[in-house]
Amino acid sequence: MKHSRRRVAALGLALATAVALPQAATAHDGVDHGAEPGADAALDWSAYEKIELTKNVGEPISLAVMPDRTVLHTARNGDIRLTDPTTGVTRVINTIDVYANSEDGMQTITLDPDFEENGWVYLYYAPRVMEAPYPTTTPQGSAPNQLPAGEDESYWDQWKGYNQLTRVQWDPQARQLDMTTEQVILKVEVQRGQCCHVAGDVAFDADGNLYLSTGDNTPAGTPGANGFAPNNDAPGMNPGFDARRGAGSTNDLRGKILRITVQEDGSYTVPDGNLFEPGTEGTRPEIFAMGLRNPFRIDVDAETGAVMWGDYGPDSGTADPARGPMGYVEWMSTTDPLNGGWPYCHGPNANYNEWDFATATPGAWFDCEAGAENNSRWNTGLDVLPPATAPQLYYGDNPGDQPWDELVEFDPQGGQGPMGSPMYRYDETLDAAGKFPEYWDGKAFFYEFSQDYVAALTVPEPDGPVTHIEHFLPNAALRAQVQAITDSPIDMEFGPDGSLYVLDYGNGFFRQNPEAGLYRIDYAPGNKTPQAAVDADPISSSEAPLTVTLDGSRSVDPEGEELTYEWDLDGDGTFDATGAQVTHTYTELGQYTVRLRVTDPEGKFGITSRAVTVGNVAPTLTLDHPADGGFFGWGDAVPYRFSVSDPEDGTTPVCSRLSWTFGLGHDTHAHPEVLGSGCSGAWATPADAPEHGETEKLFGVVVANYTDAGNGDVPAAQGEVSIVLNPFVKEAEHADALAGVEVAEDTTAGALAKVTSLDAGDHLAFEPVNLAGIEGVEATLAGSGTLALRWGSPDAEPFGTVSVDGEDWQTLPVVLDQLPEGTSALYVTSTGGVEVDRFRFIGTGVTDVTAPVVDHSLTPAEPTGANGWYTEPVTLRVDATDDGQVASVEVSYDGGATWQSIRSWWSGAVNPVTLSEDGVHEVLYRAADNGGNVSEVGSVTVRIDTTAPEVTVTGVEDGVDAGSSATVDVAFSAQDATSGVAELTATLDGEAVEPGTLDLWTVALGEHVLVVTATDEAGNVTEQSVTFTVTTSFADLAAHVGRLAADGTLTQGESRQLSALLRQAERHADAGRTTQAVSALERFVGATDDELLVRDAQALAEQIG
């Protein structure tokens, strides 16, 4: 949408000749229709009445009038309501499970042209749960503007999604949609997690072809756009910031009007006559019109085939010689397929510059006349587009910006929101008392969402031009007749009765606004329909019985005649009581629909209903912080804390039932930026909000609601709260009320405009304002005089003053007394002679200036080894708390040179870190909140040694047999690469040993076990065993005899005798004479008393025998 503050005159800039911008707008020729037959009667506004059908509309989006004049209407949250004007009852008949973020959610509802025969109802919405190849669900909140460090382009895939066109059968018995019959006809791929531009309207032509409008899915606040074409495909930027990928692409369904023919099974074919022939490479054959930004409402005149739509524009209040035209909005009527030009040109085919968003420098100008080039890196379609077609109507901010100044003068209040337009076709055979006069036949009813008016366009030929514009049923006339004014009309259509049905959005944001409602405009000369109104006191209770006083005395008869009052007290269809006021006692729990019918003496009646609930009282939702009217800066985070009090459920809320929307307030309306839930956290305000354009009035808006648990069969109730947040800089011309002053252009002023003629008795008012966290105020002024700040009233005593004396702008501090507390209106008055540019409020306001607090925990909590060492992997968890919302948690393993995120973008969970490698881990950690505040760096040292020492044994090998005469040098050692060796021990057959020479004759024959044990500083233990066997043989015995003879243990005679016996035994053994060999060894044993020789000889004899 485009919303901007109007000024006294357009801001003229001389533009480079390379950009095809219009010359100064000239007045249209026009046609005087005042003398047309029936004009006097048709233009007598007292002959019309705007009848309230219901105020129960939720956040209204779309309507469809059924053949019986009941009305289906949708709300963004997925609710589909049915209103019956004859009973005054509105009920939610279906709730669609939608993805709700920013402008996504439930969009259109439309009846099939053959509805009475086939019962099809068409819906266009964003499903919450999606089918492959898309993610099943979309992450909550908004996607980042830039690619996070370490990620590649596939990162954006998690925000891929689609809006879907479906149709569902109407169940006439249940009076609701039968969702089991849903047929998904078409999916439009989108980039979720960002605002804005969904469009999503459906219309049919006389041949039954279906037209679907889609938005460009690109934020107005794209970084670097500054109110011009958002074509930002700079490296790393979110692909959603480039409108060329969608509206500007021939191979994408966004930013289009599609034209298809739906088949019996829900599939579709493409009729002849669209923009691209089927099979054309790089194109989608469904496209009828491309190059559109947000064609929110479309209509097709079945008689001529004219397709009509309004298209929203960007926000720049002025042209820029380096960028392109000021922001225009458009209206178009065509029977031919076309390219509307966006985002290469807009309005009167004024072209944009191919701005380099990475370097913020201008490039070449798009050639819309010949066909612009699409150089986006995201483009999947043709490189050169079809030539652009200018619209029949375009308009900007101020008189002089467009040929038809009526479009900004009918109800001047800032902003542009073009809608529609339904074509009226008079049917002389139709017997309906409220049908519009024939005078309006063939006129398209254009409606303005932002400026609150309806205009009838005369378009003699279906492809234009517009020859006459008439302000239909002005709000001044409605006020004079004490009827509801046109208040942000979001959908309109002519019903089968020839009356105009209107869905008004109202003045608030993201909610059911008090002014919102569903209405029917009848042509009713003479007696008018009474307007029924019900007050109930009390409206609900926690318990039965409940006695309620029902009062209908606010009901009004336009002619002032006496009314009769009839009450249906329980919604059973029977009127139970009469009189302007009745009292009724409800004895059982439940929710009751009370209906009031008021009838005038001529028999015309109005009817309305009100719900009375017994058993459940709505909760009270309170926003404890921030205060309504508090101050913040774009890009800051604003902490929030809610509390809830519920008569039945108490004061401990279920925070998942608390939902909120933070929106970018823009003039009189707002863009929902982020939807979320929870009782506390912080709203991250968009840093790129000023990219809407320097002239725009921007602010923050929050709407929150809490749904209680209900009470058995008694339905849940909801409490709501909303606030407005002010940016630190407030332009004087953006004041919420201006009394006695003028707003004039000034290219030297902050937003290119200033307030003048602020004389004594005049004032500016900003409301709401809360000065919590504000320490000072600066005013940018020129002239000579004194300015005063007053609280709550323009006549209150000043709490701040500032004097100026000089022709040039000066930024001066306001001398402040004690700042007022609470929320009220801030009034600015003057002694006269002062021009005002802006005010800057100095301080922190309600923003988050407190960094998160971080701590850590380890699992296991204590070292599992010795000396402070862990002998197993360790899990590190970093805990971060904040008075707002933690946005990132990071760890560093290299002393802070590099950081790694451990917080999941998808879930917000902080993932644990597993430390498993041996060594000393010095881990730093920190957290940042979504306001950019960074915590102090925490640290933790974790010493891990999961590896036992490595032991080496030499001199003896495992499993070796060694002769008893041998000598071995046994050595053992240990190494530990991490914590180091603390202790090394060894045992031989259980007895401690030291490394060194081992004479094997000193140990027993047989098996021996050498065990070497190493323990590191962490307590890890390695035990290495070496098993060896000591054996004996004739050679070993001979060696023993020789060694004993040499050391004198044996005499020479003993040595000769023993050696001879050994040789004798060995010869017998070698010859196989076992008995003789054993006998010789026995004689050997008998010949010596040496224990070693006896042991080995006996063992050898046993071995031989």
3-state secondary structure 449-490: CCCCEEEEEECCCCCCCCCEEEEECCHHHHHHCCCCCCCCEE
Q: Residue with structure tokens 């908004």?
A: 142
- At 15, the pLDDT band (50, 70, 90 cuts) reads very low
Peptide bond into 860 cis (omega under 30): yes
Task: Looking at the structure, tell me whether residues 381 and 368 fall in a common domain.
Answer: yes
Task: Looking at the structure, tell me whether residues 609 and 624 fall in a common domain.
Answer: no
For the domain that residue 589 is a member of, what is the CATH number? 2.60.40.10
Above 90 in pLDDT, residue 371?
A: yes
Which tokens sit at 343? 């985002």
The residue among 708, 727, 746 that closes a domain is: 727
Q: Is 887 exposed, middle or buried (0-12, 13-18, 19+ CB in 10 A)?
A: buried
Q: Is residue 209 part of a domain?
A: yes
According to the model, what pLDDT value does residue 29 have?
Answer: 53
- CB contact burial 377-393 (16+ within 10 A = b; e otherwise): ebbebbeebbebbbbbb
Closest-CA residue to 510 (of 660, 649, 380, 389): 660
The residue segments making up the domain with residue 644 are 620-727
Distance of CA 6 to the CA centre of its chain: 31
Task: Looking at the structure, tell me whether residues 928 and 977 fall in a common domain.
Answer: no
Alpha carbons 909 and 886: distance in angstroms, whole number? 10
Contact 576, 593 (CB under 8 A): no
The C-alpha angle with vertex 786 and arms to 781 and 788, in degrees rounded to 5, equals 95
Instruction: Tell me the percentage of the chain whose pLDDT exceeds 70.
Output: 97
317 or 710, which is more confident? 710
Which tokens sit at 129? 């749960």
Which tokens sit at 767? 């409301």
Task: Looking at the structure, tell me whether residues 759 and 772 fall in a common domain.
Answer: yes
Q: Which residues contact 149 (CB under 8 A, 6 or more apart)?
A: none
According to the model, what pLDDT value does residue 1 have?
Answer: 40
Q: Is residue 3 part of a domain?
A: no
Contact 726, 699 (CB under 8 A): yes
Q: What is the mean pLDDT of residues 852-874?
A: 97
pLDDT in tens, 930-970: 888 999 999 999 999 999 999 999 999 999 999 999 999 99
Q: Residue with structure tokens 């009667």?
A: 41
According to the model, what pLDDT value does residue 599 have?
Answer: 98
Coil, helix or strand at residue 240 = helix
The residue type at 402: Q
Above 90 in pLDDT, residue 37?
A: no
pLDDT in tens, 814-840: 999 999 999 999 999 999 999 999 999
According to the model, what pLDDT value does residue 509 have?
Answer: 75
- At 1012, the pLDDT band (50, 70, 90 cuts) reads very high
Above 60 in pLDDT, residue 131?
A: yes
Which tokens sit at 857? 């925990």
Contact 1049, 1090 (CB under 8 A): yes
Above 50 in pLDDT, residue 18?
A: no
- At 344, the pLDDT band (50, 70, 90 cuts) reads very high
Q: Residue with structure tokens 């500054």?
A: 226
Task: Looking at the structure, tell me whether residues 833 and 913 fall in a common domain.
Answer: no
DSSP per-residue codes, 982-1024: EEEEEEETTEE--SEEEEGGGS-SEEEEEEEEEEETT--EEEE
Alpha carbons 841 and 827: distance in angstroms, whole number? 14
According to the model, what pLDDT value does residue 574 have?
Answer: 95
What secondary structure letter does DSSP report for 868? Answer: T
Contact 403, 26 (CB under 8 A): yes
Coil, helix or strand at residue 745 = strand
Q: Residue with structure tokens 């969009």?
A: 107
Coil, helix or strand at residue 104 = coil
Q: Is residue 373 part of a domain?
A: yes
- At 10, the pLDDT band (50, 70, 90 cuts) reads very low
Longest Cα–Cα distance of the chain, Å, equals 161
According to the model, what pLDDT value does residue 692 have?
Answer: 78
The residue among 843, 871, 890 that closes a domain is: 843
According to the model, what pLDDT value does residue 507 have?
Answer: 86
CA dihedral for 104, 109, 113, 115, sign (positive or negative): positive
For the domain that residue 776 is a member of, what is the CATH number? 2.60.120.260
Contact 366, 345 (CB under 8 A): yes
Alpha carbons 66 and 49: distance in angstroms, whole number? 21
Contact 578, 565 (CB under 8 A): yes
Contact 123, 131 (CB under 8 A): no
Packed helices 1091-1104 and 1034-1046: angle between N→C axes, nearest 10 degrees = 170
Above 80 in pLDDT, residue 23?
A: no
Task: Looking at the structure, tell me whether residues 518 and 542 fall in a common domain.
Answer: no
Alpha carbons 512 and 351: distance in angstroms, whole number? 39
Q: Is 810 exposed, middle or buried (0-12, 13-18, 19+ CB in 10 A)?
A: middle
Count of beta carbons in the 10 Å neighbourhood of residue 1086: 11
The residue among 913, 944, 975 that closes a domain is: 944
Alpha carbons 245 and 231: distance in angstroms, whole number? 9
For the domain that residue 919 is a member of, what is the CATH number? 2.60.40.650
Q: Which residues contact 45 (CB under 8 A, 6 or more apart)?
A: 473, 474, 477, 478, 481
Contact 667, 699 (CB under 8 A): no
First to last CA, the chain: 111
Q: Is residue 530 part of a domain?
A: no
Alpha carbons 365 and 349: distance in angstroms, whole number? 12
Above 80 in pLDDT, residue 615?
A: yes
Across the chain, what does the average pLDDT equal?
93
According to the model, what pLDDT value does residue 420 have?
Answer: 86
pLDDT in tens, 60-99: 999 999 999 999 999 999 999 999 999 999 999 999 999 9
The C-alpha angle with vertex 687 and arms to 683 and 688, in degrees rounded to 5, equals 130
Peptide bond into 538 cis (omega under 30): yes
Task: Looking at the structure, tell me whether residues 313 and 410 fall in a common domain.
Answer: yes
Task: Looking at the structure, tell me whether residues 340 and 317 fall in a common domain.
Answer: yes
Q: Is residue 336 part of a domain?
A: yes
pLDDT in tens, 653-705: 999 999 999 988 877 777 788 888 999 999 999 888 888 788 889 999 999 99
According to the model, what pLDDT value does residue 785 have?
Answer: 97
Q: Residue with structure tokens 């669900």?
A: 137
Q: What is the mean pLDDT of residues 620-634?
A: 97
Above 90 in pLDDT, residue 287?
A: yes
Instruction: Tell me the percentage of the chain whose pLDDT exceeds 90.
Output: 88
Task: Looking at the structure, tell me whether residues 293 and 253 fall in a common domain.
Answer: yes
According to the model, what pLDDT value does residue 545 have?
Answer: 97
pLDDT in tens, 753-810: 999 999 999 999 999 999 999 999 999 999 999 999 999 999 999 999 999 999 999 9
Enclosing H/E stretch for 164: strand 160-171
Distance of CA 598 to the CA centre of its chain: 46
The residue type at 726: N
According to the model, what pLDDT value does residue 28 have?
Answer: 57
Q: Is residue 529 part of a domain?
A: no
Contact 354, 363 (CB under 8 A): yes
According to the model, what pLDDT value does residue 24 have?
Answer: 40
The residue type at 56: N
- At 197, the pLDDT band (50, 70, 90 cuts) reads very high
Alpha carbons 294 and 247: distance in angstroms, whole number? 9
Enclosing H/E stretch for 1039: helix 1034-1046
Which tokens sit at 747? 């290219």
Q: Which residues contact 684 (CB under 8 A, 6 or more apart)?
A: 142, 637, 674, 885, 887, 930, 931
CA dihedral for 585, 588, 589, 593, sign (positive or negative): negative
Q: How many residues does the chain have?
A: 1105
pLDDT in tens, 709-764: 999 999 999 999 999 999 999 999 999 999 999 999 999 999 999 999 999 999 99
Q: Is residue 445 part of a domain?
A: yes
According to the model, what pLDDT value does residue 858 have?
Answer: 97
Task: Looking at the structure, tell me whether residues 335 and 466 fall in a common domain.
Answer: yes
Alpha carbons 872 and 917: distance in angstroms, whole number? 9
Distance of CA 662 to the CA centre of its chain: 10
Contact 108, 166 (CB under 8 A): no
Task: Looking at the structure, tell me whether residues 244 and 350 fall in a common domain.
Answer: yes
> Using only C-alpha atoms, what is the Rg of the chain?
44
Alpha carbons 45 and 47: distance in angstroms, whole number? 5
Alpha carbons 1062 and 1080: distance in angstroms, whole number? 7
According to the model, what pLDDT value does residue 140 have?
Answer: 82
Task: Looking at the structure, tell me whether residues 466 and 394 fall in a common domain.
Answer: yes
Cα atoms in the 13 Å half-sphere on the side-chain side of 990:
1
Coil, helix or strand at residue 1068 = helix
The number of folded domains in the chain is 7
Q: Is residue 9 part of a domain?
A: no
